Amino acid sequence: MPRPTVQPFTDEDLDAAAEALAARHRDQRVAQPLLDPRYAEPAACRAEIEALRSADDASGAVAYDGARLSAFVVGAPRQSPVWGPNVWIEVAGHAAHDPETLRDTYAAAAQSWVDAGRTAHYVVVPAHDTRMVDAWFRLGFGLQHVHAVRATPDPADLAPLPPSTILRPAQHSDIRALAELDLLLPAHQALAPCFSAGDVPTLEESVAEWEDDLRDDRFAAWVAENDGDVVGSVVACPLTVSSGHRGLAAANEAGYLGQAVVRPDARRHGIGRALGEQALRWSAGQGHPSTVTDWRATNLLSSRAWPALGFEATFLRLHRVVGY
């Protein structure tokens, strides 16, 4: 059986790629109806693909089976040393009527990326599509990060706070404690099995950020206290504030559980769950029909806590380093 014809992505491929991406989103919304319905239309998808292709050094490939587009891939680098010499295939950067053909299409696009020394490749894939995830896995990609959503519950259905724990809105006098908690997350993710290479801010930088955030009405923050000692915190905001959950990756009019941290000596007592549920209460109070969060797949704490709180994976960020 002949393989599809694979060639560089050009402007002439935009309409067919947009149709394929809209079809992918319609299929995903059958399984995950909380996702934004606007991208079921090709016009909205075309705008997303055009934005990706306008990035510096963006390139891609497209495969045709006769006159019908079978798959496309578009990638571009992010100018950040955190990600290595990279190329990102964002959530709108690929679609396929035949997931197997994605492998041919990636192969055609990736050669120039590797030739340019960009050997760290990232792709954001619909979590529900096992055939597509499998196609990327068979290209050497592995799971790195999870995007997830859940319907915002009725606050009456949430569990009571753990005994001896007080949950209250954060205030200016909490800033140093909040900043110290902030440093725990990157420090934790630098350990096994995450081994994240992200920068750890200084305490002074974290204090300055909290000074700004507590004055920003978009953010809501709470602290957990045990015997008057701040042992945890959580931050929530509208999803529109988050740069990592836009376009096809966004749930419609959602809230966002941005970050929750519990001090190591206070873990395993239900405080993390209580903080997560507080973010859900806030979403309910703001009228958000759903709440979104994300986590590193190798973070043993969050990868267990948030699914247990009812969050369902929507997209998986996969990662490959070309090398030995």
Domain at 151-311, CATH class: alpha beta
pLDDT tens column, 42-65: 999 999 999 999 999 999 999 999
The answer to whether the bond into 193 is cis (omega within 30° of 0) is yes
**Domain assignments of the chain as residue spans, ordered by start:** 5-140, 151-311
pLDDT of residue 190: 87
pLDDT tens column, 225-283: 988 899 999 999 999 998 889 999 999 999 999 999 999 999 988 899 999 999 999 99
Residue indicated by tokens 């973070």 = 299
pLDDT tens column, 2-41: 678 999 999 999 999 999 999 999 999 999 999 999 999 9
pLDDT of residue 84: 87
pLDDT of residue 1: 57
pLDDT of residue 280: 96
Burial tier of 217 (Cβ tally within 10 Å: 0-12, 13-18, 19+):
exposed
pLDDT of residue 158: 82
Cα 200 off chain centre by: 20
Residue indicated by tokens 């319907």 = 151
The mean predicted confidence, pLDDT, of the chain is 94
Identical fold for domains 5-140 and 151-311, yes or no, is yes
* pTM reported for the whole predicted model: 0.94
Q: Is the pLDDT of residue 78 over 60?
A: yes
Q: How far apart are CA 200 and CA 76, in angstroms?
A: 26
Q: How far apart are CA 58 and CA 15, in angstroms?
A: 18
pLDDT tens column, 274-296: 999 999 999 999 999 999 999 99
pLDDT of residue 52: 97
Q: Is the pLDDT of residue 168 over 70?
A: yes
Residue 72 neighbours by CB under 8 Å, 6+ apart: 9, 13, 16, 17, 20, 60, 61, 62, 63, 94, 95, 96, 105
What proportion of the chain, given as a percentage, has pLDDT over 90? 84
pLDDT of residue 161: 74
Q: How far apart are CA 20 and CA 97, in angstroms?
A: 7
Q: How far apart are CA 96 and CA 74, in angstroms?
A: 12
Pick the CATH number of 5-140 from 3.40.630.30, 3.30.830.10, 3.40.50.1000, 3.40.1350.10: 3.40.630.30
Q: Identify the band that residue 311 occupies on the pLDDT scale cut at 50, 70 and 90.
A: very high
What proportion of the chain, given as a percentage, has pLDDT over 70? 99
Q: Hey, what are 303's tokens?
A: 């990868």
